[in-house]
Amino acid sequence: MKPGDRYYPKTTEQKLGYLVEECGEVLAAAGKTQRWGFSSVNPELPPEQQETNRDWLLRELQDLKGAIALIETMLLSPPDVSSAVLPPAPPPLTFSQRNRKRCESALGFNHQLGSWTLSDWLTATVGEIGEAANIIKKLNRYRDGIPGNKLSERELKERLAEELGDTAVYLDLICQAAGLDFDTVREAAFQRKSAEIGYKE
């Protein structure tokens, strides 16, 4: 096997796998040779693939030497970070964790969650939902044929998405400021209402 070959081992794991595989093949060839002798051939192979156990063992020993050389080169050269077996990456942060981190980080808003009261967070949340309401008012103008809009209906819908997104970001922060988890309270509210109206999923 040469560096250009399709299955040429590149990573540490592939090189170790190749070494194990070639060790196994040497064992197979040595075992058959021990049982049947150097000049025996495998009768189950098609004639064009037949070779003596001597040739087979020599071939596998050559391959094993190649696998050993690959591992030796790797072990004796400085660690290659790109091919090393890296520890698994830590699980990604949840949206709420990222939201709070950005809020409080010196590289983000540098704004401690506890430095605002719930009233402050509510004002911010309602401010965003108010911006959404203002856009919906303008969309209603299109619905009702009333003049006065500067943005197209499509642009307004894009702005609505932004404002609803802003609202969701603040809803998450106000939940965290109140010591609650947004996903949990949302799911609990959904299930409470489902039970109330007898709805089954």
CB burial readout 14-41, b (16+ within 10 A) else e: ebbebbeebeebbeebeebbeeeeeeeb
Question: In the complex with Mg ion, which residue's Cβ is closer, 104 or 131?
Answer: 131
Residue closest to Mg ion, measured at CB = 166
Q: How far is the CB of 117 from Mg ion (least distance, A)?
A: 21
Residue 110 in tokens: 């540098």
Residue 90 C-beta: closest distance to Mg ion, Å: 32
Q: Are the CB atoms for 18 and 70 separated by under 8 Å?
A: yes
Least distance from C-beta 157 to Mg ion, angstroms? 15
Give the residue with the Cβ less far from Mg ion, 22 or 128: 128
Cα separation of 72 and 89, whole Å? 28
Q: Choose between 51 and 120: whose C-beta lies nearer to Mg ion.
A: 120
Which positions lie near Mg ion, rule CB under 5 A? 128, 131, 163, 166
Q: How far apart are CA 25 and CA 19, in angstroms?
A: 10
Choice between 60 and 163, CB closer to Mg ion = 163
Rounded to the nearest angstrom, the gap between the alpha carbon of residue 186 and the centroid of all alpha carbons in its chain is 26
Least distance to Mg ion from the beta carbon of 73, Å?
58
